Copies of this chain bind each other. A is one copy, B any other.
């Protein structure tokens, strides 16, 4: 009984979050709407993949909700407690990615998930991270301030912990680069009771639009050159490399036989590779590499300037 209540509470929150986020992004795009379909799966699970394709401002957006019931918890889903692998479970998740057309608007990704094995064994995971092409310090500061504000009520050390976890996760070892300027990441999270954890997750979920929309709104009107667009496509190549060869969720999705169009809805609409390309010294492109694609204490360093 208790089990059911927790699952249904999380389902209810994630489903309305999906609706709210899609509506806000559709309003911003002004032209194109998110697709909407409900796909039933085995054992009573279902997913609602929603994709916005070829909008005026959003070149590709995917906001996906999934409720799954499984007979065997995948090993990838429980890092800290491998003893739980292969047990029956229920899982609720929402994940999203926005690939804007304008290279001044950062790509953004967020996801939240809840795994329930039994009364004692459950955990949350998730976070959000930002991948700018031509970053503005004030945007990065706003992003991280919002992240911290969402975590603070549940522990003043949480932001720092989740921020470091995010830097560690969104790293491309073969490029020796961060994916972007980070944000929050947490996994296997069940500190305190369910209400406390869910409160934190709701705070983070509610912060997603608060963190992203002001940046989107501020930069969407900037004009850009075809050279800047090319740089955006080139950097999107890194996103593809991360998702296909590093990201645990995507790897698991590819290997497990999940609906592949949902798993790969996160792919950019178009991406490029350019052999041995390097940014010109002192250029805005070099600024990204030199000053943003490495872990930094944004709040301390940027607060001093802004």
Report which A residues bind B (CB closer than 8 A).
35, 51, 53, 60, 62, 173-175, 233, 237, 240-241, 244-245, 250-251, 253-255, 257, 260-261, 263-265, 267-276
Contacts and interface: CB of A to CB of B under 8 A. Distances in A.
Given A244-B244, A251-B245, A274 B263 contact: no
A269 B250 CA distance: 23
B174 A275 contact: no
A175 B273 CA distance: 23
A275 B259 CA distance: 12
A268 to B, nearest CB: 7
A276 B261 contact: yes
7 contacts: A51-B276, A237-B267, A241-B264, A244-B244, A245-B245, A261-B275, A265-B275
A230 to B, nearest CB: 10
A94 B136 CA distance: 44
Contact of A260 (B174, B251, B270): B174
Nearest to A176: B260
Number of chain copies forming the complex: 2
A128 to B, nearest CB: 21
A271 B271 contact: yes
Question: What secondary structure prevails in chain A residues at the interface with B?
Answer: mixed
Contact of A53 (B53, B261, B270, B274): B274
Nearest to A244: B244
A62 B275 contact: yes
A268 B260 contact: no
Given A53-B274, A271-B271, 14 more contacts: A60-B275, A173-B257, A174-B255, A174-B263, A175-B260, A240-B271, A244-B244, A245-B250, A245-B251, A261-B275, A261-B276, A267-B273, A268-B273, A271-B272
A50 to B, nearest CB: 10
A260 to B, nearest CB: 5
Nearest to A61: B275
Contacts of A241: 244, 264
Contacts of A269: 272-274
A245 B254 contact: yes
A239 B264 CA distance: 14
Given A240-B244, A267-B237, A174 B274 contact: no
A168 to B, nearest CB: 17
Contacts of A244: 240-241, 244-245
A255 to B, nearest CB: 8
Contacts of A233: 270
Contacts of A251: 245
Contacts of A175: 260
A271 B236 CA distance: 11
A28 to B, nearest CB: 19
A254 B53 contact: no
